[in-house]
Chain A
Amino acid sequence: MDSTNESDLYRKLARREFLTRAASGTVITALAGGLYVISDGLTREAKAQSRDDGRPRLPPGQRVIERLKPMGGVPGDPSRGNFKLRVHGDVDNPFELDFAELLAMGPVTRRADVHCVTGWSVLSAKWKGVTLKALAERAGMRSTARHVIFEGASGYTANVRVREAMGDDVMVAWELDDRPLRRPNGAPVRALVPDLYFWKSSKWLTGIRFTKRDHPGYWETRGYHNHADPWKEERYG
């Protein structure tokens, strides 16, 4: 075999190898995609369900996963022993609680779905904590208060309308699925506002401020929606 024929042969072999590998890659990717679709039964199941208020259980553009993802942020002090929660602003009796005092307020347990703006949802998570309504009552929230600002570690804030914050499932939570809240999920205590995108549920909670005027928070001033209703897909402002 002369050198020209030999190099032709090598070229053909290399081409054949490339085509084989490309085809294999395509088949594997397609199979993985198919498996992914088949395995996403949780999402299909949730899409077929409705809430008591008539809205679909799963907001548009969401996919169900089994547990919360960390989603970053600047962590606060995770110790329950060092925890302090300041309730203040447009209230008659501002106060500060440590963890024992929060616990003594009488914890409640709620099952709630949460929806992250990045597209995942966790359904029926079991949360333990104190309702925001109970904290507002204790602080003597004034009738002029229109907004609640959740204050997290390192200056993080998130704003929620008072009428939405007084819902029975809006709470300050320290347990998730019978386990203490983990560090990446906001230990020791986080806010929980299930019917708004999850960034409103501030992690590493340090304060709750009631205000007459709205104060858009960390993500709201960075292009995210001020209200954040998942059923209206209020993701970006």
Chain B
Amino acid sequence: MADDAQAPAPTSKRKRKIRWRQWLRALHRDFGYVAVGLTLIYALSGLAVNHIADWDPNFENYERDLVVEAPLPTDDDAEAARIVQAATGIEGEPIDVYRVTDDLLEVTFDKSTLHVTLSDGKVFQEGQEPRMFLRAANWLHLNRGKKAWTWFADGYAVVLLLLATSGIFMLPGRKGIKGRGAVLVALGIAIPLAYLMWVGSP
């Protein structure tokens, strides 16, 4: 009789255990969904900015030399700018037309600048086209705008911590933290530690 009375206890323990893991899995799943968009932004931007010494992750830069018919008017900067703009095929109004020296005119547009030598018609054009997605992603990743994005970025960091910790305990058994999981978690911790030991910093 006494044995019978104690019998339900393990079942209820098992039930509680299962419920706990179910909650963890549900949390992991839903936070994971929320994290998808932000992870794409941070991961792609991370790859882009990580290799900043190899390319410009925000802009495609270009430059070219050309010669327009000379001499260009030296007494009418707007007219000289118009002639050069027509020759280069740039659309839109210049932001600024500025006479740097007697012979040098600078015509600035939104995305490019023309440096014009009035006497010989030589034009040096340099400009940049923004990489639309990456520029925005990098701006967010580096938190250039500050303000409310700091809160979102902090929130995302907390979500990543939740994903990492819930991931550790989500699976029972040999594939969980008591088996293969422990080895992989140890590997993930060992990689940065080994690197720090190897480079001897900070």
Q: Is the CB of B96 within 8 A of A82?
A: yes
Number of interface residues of B (CB under 8 A): 28
Q: Is the CB of A79 within 8 A of B58?
A: no
In the complex, whether A80 has a CB less than 8 A from a CB of chain B is yes
Chain B residue contacts of A106, Cβ below 8 A: none
Q: Is the CB of A79 within 8 A of B61?
A: no
Chain A residue contacts of B56, Cβ below 8 A: 69-72, 184
Chain B residue contacts of A119, Cβ below 8 A: 53
Chain A residue contacts of B52, Cβ below 8 A: 69, 71-72, 118
Q: Which residue of B lies closest to A100 (CB)?
A: B100
Of A74, A116, A154, which one neighbours B53 at CB under 8 angstroms?
A116
Number of interface residues of A (CB under 8 A): 24
In the complex, whether A179 has a CB less than 8 A from a CB of chain B is yes
Interface SS, A side: loop
In the complex, whether B49 has a CB less than 8 A from a CB of chain A is yes
Report the separation of the CA atoms of residues A180 and B101 in the bound assembly, to the nearest whole angstrom: 13
Chain B residue contacts of A116, Cβ below 8 A: 53
Q: Is the CB of A81 within 8 A of B98?
A: yes
Q: Is the CB of B63 within 8 A of A182?
A: yes
In the complex, whether A18 has a CB less than 8 A from a CB of chain B is no
Provide the A79-103 mask, 1 if CB < 8 A to any CB of B, else 0.
1111000000000000000010001
Q: Is the CB of B97 within 8 A of A187?
A: no
Chain A residue contacts of B63, Cβ below 8 A: 182
In the complex, whether B95 has a CB less than 8 A from a CB of chain A is yes
Chain A residue contacts of B49, Cβ below 8 A: 72
Stretch at the interface among B28-36, B122-130, B163-171: B122-130
Provide the A103-126 mask, 1 if CB < 8 A to any CB of B, else 0.
100000000000010111000000
Report the separation of the CA atoms of residues A235 and B103 in the bound assembly, to the nearest whole angstrom: 43
Q: Is the CB of A180 within 8 A of B106?
A: yes
In the complex, whether B174 has a CB less than 8 A from a CB of chain A is no
Which interface residue of A69, A74, A78 has the most chain B CB atoms within 10 A? A78
Q: Which residue of B lies closest to A74 (CB)?
A: B144
In the complex, whether A146 has a CB less than 8 A from a CB of chain B is no
In the complex, whether B202 has a CB less than 8 A from a CB of chain A is yes
Chain A residue contacts of B61, Cβ below 8 A: 70, 182-184
In the complex, whether B201 has a CB less than 8 A from a CB of chain A is yes
Q: Which residue of A lies closest to B113 (CB)?
A: A78
Q: Is the CB of B108 within 8 A of A154?
A: no
Q: Is the CB of A79 within 8 A of B201?
A: no
Given A180-B115, A180-B124, decide whether A72 and B100 contact each other with a Cβ distance below 8 A.
no
Q: Is the CB of A81 within 8 A of B124?
A: no
Q: Which residue of A lies closest to B130 (CB)?
A: A75
Report the separation of the CA atoms of residues A118 and B96 in the bound assembly, to the nearest whole angstrom: 35
Q: Is the CB of B96 within 8 A of A71?
A: no
- Shortest Cβ gap from A113 to chain B (Å): 17
Given A69-B53, A79-B108, decide whether A184 and B59 contact each other with a Cβ distance below 8 A.
yes
Contacts A99-B100, A183-B126 known; 6 new A-B pairs at CB < 8 A: A71-B53, A79-B96, A119-B53, A182-B126, A184-B128, A187-B113
Could you tell me which B residues sit within 8 Å of A by CB distance?
A: 49, 52-54, 56-59, 61, 63, 95-98, 100-101, 106, 108, 113, 115, 124, 126-128, 138, 144, 201-202
A-B contact pairs, 8 of them (CB 8 A): A79-B98, A80-B98, A82-B96, A118-B53, A179-B124, A180-B106, A182-B63, A184-B61
